[in-house]
A and B are shown apart, each in its own frame.
Chain A
Amino acid sequence: ILNVEQSPQSLHVQEGDSTNFTCSFPSSNFYALHWYRWETAKSPEALFVMTLNGDEKKKGRISATLNTKEGYSYLYIKGSQPEDSATYLCAFHTGGFKTIFGAGTRLFVKA
C-alpha cells in the first residue's frame, strides 16, 4: 500500500512569518510529486509538478524542493499572507493512472 505522509497536520502563523511543511512518499516507483492548494469553498488547484530529483520550483512567495532518493518534498512559503491560508496537499504519482494524496497541511495565517 502506497502511503503519503504530510506534516504538520495544521499550522498557525502570523502574517509575515515564513513557514515550511513536509511531504514523505515511497522512494521506489517514483514518477511525479504534485503539490495542490485547497482553499475553503474552492476546488484544489495544482501548484507544482515535480519529476526530477533535486527539482526546485517557485511561484511567487511559494517554493518547493524534491528529494526522490530519500522520498521527501518540502513546501516553503516566504512572508505568509492571510490569503495563503489553505490546505496544502501533496500527491504521489507512480506513472499509472493513480495519484495518491497525503492528508494535507492546513495553514492558518493571522493578520
Chain B
Amino acid sequence: SQTIHQWPATLVQPVGSPLSLECTVEGTSNPNLYWYRQAAGRGLQLLFYSVGIGQISSEVPQNLSASRPQDRQFILSSKKLLLSDSGFYLCAGTGTANSGANVLTFGAGSRLTVL
C-alpha cells in the first residue's frame, strides 16, 4: 500500500522568507502526486499535480511553485512568502492499482503560519 511522508509538520515563517515543503512516497512507483491547501473554513484547493518526474501542472495562479526531481519526491516552494500563503498543506498521491478511480492517499499535512 502507498504511504505519503510529509514534512515539516508545522512551520512559522516571516513574510518574505522562502518556503520548502517536502513530500515522499513509499509503496508505489510512478504515482500521480498532488499538493492541496486548506484555508480556514474552506475545502481542499488543488494547487499542483504531477504525473511524472519534471512534469508539473499548476491549477491556480499563486506565489508558490512545485517540483518533482525524483519519481517519489514532490516539493512545494516559494521564494518569498505572503501572509495569504498561511494554511494547511496536504500532499497526496494515487497508486498504480487504484489510479483509475483516483483515490487519494494523504500525508499528515504541514501547517504554515506566515507572520
Contact = CB atoms under 8 A, between A and B. Distances in A.
B41 to A, nearest CB: 7
B43 A4 contact: yes
A100 B102 contact: no
A28 interface: no
B15 interface: no
B35 interface: no
Contact residues on B (Cβ < 8 Å of other chain), bracket: 20 to 34
Contact of A43 (B41, B59, B107): B107
Nearest to A90: B43
Contact of B43 (A31, A34, A45, A89): A89
A32 B34 CA distance: 18
Main SS of the interface on chain A?
strand
B22 to A, nearest CB: 16
B103 A34 contact: yes
Interface in A38-79: 42-46, 49, 51
Nearest to B57: A97
Given A97-B57, A98-B49, A101-B36, A44 B106 contact: yes
Given A44-B106, A93-B101, A98 B43 contact: no
A102 B43 contact: yes
Interface in B27-76: 32, 34, 36, 41-46, 49, 51, 57, 59
A44 B90 contact: yes
Interface in A15-42: 31-32, 34, 36, 42
B82 interface: no
Interface of A: 4, 6, 31-32, 34, 36, 42-46, 49, 51, 89, 91, 93, 97-104
